Amino acid sequence: MVPELCTPLSSACYSSPEIILAPFMLITTSVFLGNDHADLWNQLWHECAGLTVKVPQIGERVFYFPQGHHEQIEACMEDEDDITIHNYDLPPKILFKVVNVELKAYPDSDEVYAKFLLLPDNGEGDGSTVRSVPQKIPASSFRKILSVSDASTHGGCVLPKLGVEKTFPPLDASQDQASQPLVAKDLHGAEWGFQHVYRGSPKRHMLVNGWNKFASAKRLKAGDTCIFMRGLERNEIYIGIQRAVSMQKASKDLTGSAMRRGVLVDASVSMTTKTYFTVIYHPRMCCSAFIVPYHVVMEALSVNYSAGMRFETLDDPEDMSRKFYGIITANEDVDPARWPNSEWRCLKVQWDVAPFSHLAPRRVCPWDIQPRALDVPHMPSSISVNRKRSMPFEPVIRSNPLSRTNENNQSDGSLSLALTLSVGGIGGSSRQNETNLAEDVKVGEDKSVNRTMVSNKSKGKEVCGGNQNA
């Protein structure tokens, strides 16, 4: 029998949401929705959490990384880690089984988080057979970053035409004042009425009547992102919010050091007594997930990452069609004294260009990236791989004066060279090398043509001279 997850504040443990963040009434919206609506709600939650956030399923085996949990507390409390805190002899990663998952949102800010109930796993078997299930309803959606006028309480919200035409019910654009009512449901099941109009010169899609009330109630600011998703009914949509700046305030009842100690004590007690362990995960506050499916970690650790290896991000959180590239500069522990031989953010990297616009982590976890296809030596192989023989094209390294090197990088100056920028698709470097090879071939062909032309000219001169002599 799974115990009640929303414990009272007076008896909450350090890892409960009421302690990590200020106490609010917690809501699990999906409990009062039908199956199809619940599926749409879950999809909206993931849209608000980030396009690359993967939530483990109930019954799945996962690795829990205490260091990542500490980094989340650091982000919540806006302080630095206390290196004097003992790790209570915990390993850098702990194997658990997911007993329950709740996807939640704070009602006053709509910021999303996930609440996990974990149970220590005995480690038997070769991994979980549970895998993430894709959404049953592929709902169309689009995002709008709010401008100053959008976020004001005295106007409307201008929407992108392509997104509206893909997601909203169709309007009769031939009318001068085309309009329709819309009912928008948020993450808490609350309904908001908007009037969708297509007017102006030039004509624009806008949300007018009802938008001011929504913007005021949600305390929207310029830079926040609204996510619009198609609903089940004709005039129904779903609406979610991504805050540009978190509105949740850290609790003043405990310090960051007390929270970190509490998290480690809870994890240690759970491992010793084989009891439940509650973890709160805020995807918008973490650069990397610290509860990761077993098979994802094991597959990532099968790759022998080393300095000089090229890599690419799995996906860009804001644009799934775009990838970013970089080079690994070192493979070393973040905190070798307390967490030796830890895989948590063990790879120091240098980016071709800073990813995710405002986030450019100098360290990443192995499961957050993947090697370029031509650079993948795997651990199980006992035979050393000659990369030069396996690569049809060697990477071309050029100095990029616009790139910013790692300020904390204490390695030799050779690492300050940035590789040629390659953004926009898989295999960008390979295409660049193929282009270089094609150019070399073309130059060789041009030289051959030039030699032929010179030879022909010489013959022509001899022929002309013969004619003149004649």
- CATH T-level fold of 302-437: SH3 type barrels. (2.30.30)
Per-residue pLDDT at 106 exceeds 70? yes
The H or E element containing residue 264 is helix 256-273
Quickly state the pLDDT bin for 246 (edges 50, 70, 90): confident
Q: Which residues contact 427 (CB under 8 A, 6 or more apart)?
A: 372, 373
Strands of 325-331's sheet in order across: 363-364, 347-351, 325-331, 310-313, 369-371
Count of helices and strands (H, E) across the chain: 10, 17
Contact between residue 344 and residue 365 where contact means Cβ atoms under 8 Å apart: yes
Per-residue pLDDT at 23 exceeds 60? no
Contact between residue 139 and residue 41 where contact means Cβ atoms under 8 Å apart: no
User: How far apart, in whole angstroms, are the C-alpha atoms of residue 205 and residue 163?
Assistant: 10
- What pLDDT does residue 29 have? 39
* Long-range interactions of 369-373: CB distance < 8 A, separation 24+: 369/311, 369/312, 369/313, 369/314, 370/311, 370/312, 370/314, 371/303, 371/305, 371/309, 371/310, 371/311, 371/312, 372/309, 372/310, 372/311, 372/312, 372/325, 372/427, 372/429, 372/430, 373/426, 373/427, 373/430
Return the CATH number of the domain spanning residue range 141-242: 2.40.330.10
Q: What is the pLDDT of residues 275-309, one digit of tens each?
A: 999 999 999 888 889 999 999 999 999 999 999 99
Q: Write out the residue limits of the CATH 2.30.30.1040 domain(s) in the chain.
A: 302-437
Q: How many CA atoms lie within 13 A of 433 on its CB side?
A: 13
Q: How far is CA 20 from CA 23, 29, 248, 282, in A?
A: 9, 21, 10, 10
Give the residue, 254 or 345, on which the prediction is more confident.
345
- What pLDDT does residue 406 have? 39
Q: What is the pLDDT of residues 218-233, one digit of tens each?
A: 999 999 999 999 998 8
- What pLDDT does residue 147 have? 95
Quickly state the pLDDT bin for 355 (edges 50, 70, 90): low
Q: Write out the residue limits of the CATH 2.40.330.10 domain(s) in the chain.
A: 141-242
* The residue to which tokens 């414990």 are assigned: 7
Quickly state the pLDDT bin for 248 (edges 50, 70, 90): low
